[in-house]
Chains A and B, each alone.
Chain A
Amino acid sequence: NAGVMQNPRHLVRRRGQEARLRCSPMKGHSHVYWYRQLPEEGLKFMVYLQKENIIDESGMPKERFSAEFPKEGPSILRIQQVVRGDSAAYFCASSWASGTDTQYFGPGTRLTVL
């Protein structure tokens, strides 16, 4: 059973470009979470999605960031018009159930904005 898959593992963008990060949850998991980790810091929650629904986006910046988890295919975290401050590691996690269930993390996408 493959774990959580994320791609790309490394992404370099210039200021103003768009970044698109993908996450495929573990087989059988329908709950996906995105977290961001700045250098030397812990992870910060961004958004929680179930298939076709955003459940909690309280950690998402109000502008330029969006997330989706369509009925078919991976979850996508999209960052428009990237700025240097968006440089970070972005981790996706999935769980079988919500709330009290274990979250399993992917290897992360390291975004560098030049």
Chain B
Amino acid sequence: SQQGEEDPQALSIQEGENATMNCSYKTSINNLQWYRQNSGRGLVHLILIRSNEREKHSGRLRVTLDTSKKSSSLLITASRAADTASYFCATDGNQGGKLIFGQGTELSVKP
């Protein structure tokens, strides 16, 4: 079964607004990673948060992790049209090596 489940599946906002995407997972993890994928392209790594961390920032990105609820959120502040992409969370499932991806959130930022 899916380890990571993103919510919502699709999100449409105006430029300048904030976008929040959520990810839930089922088993214990060592870390959780967020990736961005533009249509027809490869994945770009955004941020990695370890199981002993609760929050992490990188530029306009803020990631939180709640291991008690087995959930994470990705916040993109002051969104831009260039942020339009699919966003995936991926966990290691405490298995080492392989990543288990969710179905992704498709973000559309309208200028």
Contacts and interface: CB of A to CB of B under 8 A. Distances in A.
Interface stretch (A12-20, A39-47, A63-71, A72-80): A39-47
Contact of B98 (A42, A58, A102, A104): A58
Interface string B47-83: 0101000000000000000000000000000000000
B101 A42 contact: yes
A98 interface: yes
A99 interface: yes
Interface residues of A, number: 25
A45 B100 contact: yes
Interface of B: 4, 30-31, 33, 35, 41-45, 48, 50, 88, 90, 92, 95-104
25 contacts: A33-B97, A41-B103, A42-B88, A42-B101, A42-B103, A43-B88, A43-B90, A43-B101, A45-B99, A48-B97, A55-B97, A56-B95, A58-B98, A91-B42, A91-B43, A93-B43, A99-B30, A99-B97, A100-B96, A103-B33, A103-B45, A105-B43, A105-B44, A105-B45, A107-B41
Given A48-B97, A55-B97, A91-B42, 17 more contacts: A43-B43, A43-B88, A43-B101, A48-B98, A56-B95, A56-B98, A58-B98, A93-B99, A99-B92, A99-B97, A100-B30, A100-B92, A103-B45, A105-B35, A107-B41, A108-B41, A108-B42
